[in-house]
Structure 1
């Protein structure tokens, strides 16, 4: 006879994993604020800017912001990446790759 599944233990493990992912997301967002220099803004200014961005439906503006974000991350990675990685990224850009060097799309 098969051993019955322990749904409570599985649920608890999933809840813990969800907590860890949320914690990591919050930490990464904080790091992003610091890396971009947005930590120099007041809380009200930062919140207002984020609300305005989240409410924007203009696709061209969103694409321009995404492109600027990709350029920001690429410029940071060029400063820290070894030469071989820089060459790989430049080859990807020449091939017309729309993905960021980390393999994501540049937005979350």
Structure 2
């Protein structure tokens, strides 16, 4: 005989997954605001700019914004890749130790 499904547990798991996805999306949007420097704007300015773009029906204007956004991510990816190249060619970091201003090592 088949084991009956626990719909309550399945529903709870789906709700938890949806909540986790929403939290991740909010975190990523916050990181995007910071990465673009838009965190220097007031909340009203940022909301206004986003509303302006969201309400824009002009496809060419949206395309310009999309191209700028794509270029932003390409530049970031290149910077990240070159930073990783520099980090792998330098001496490995020792996370367990910190170096004091006098040059010795000590615990934090």
TM range (shorter): 0.7 to 0.9
Q: CA RMSD in A?
A: 1.3
* Per-residue deviation, 1:58: 0.8
1:1-108 alignment to 2 at 5 Å? 1-81=1-81
The answer for unaligned runs of 5 or more in structure 2 is 83-108
The answer for unaligned runs of 5 or more in structure 1 is 83-108
When normalised by structure 2's length, the TM-score is 0.74
Mapped partners of 1:50, 1:80: distance in 2 = 27
Q: Secondary structure at the match of 2:2?
A: coil
Q: Deviations over 1:63-85 (max 9, x none)?
A: 11111101000001101115xxx
What is the total number of aligned residue pairs between the two structures? Answer: 83
When normalised by structure 1's length, the TM-score is 0.74
> Structure 1 residue runs of 4+, over 3 Å off?
none
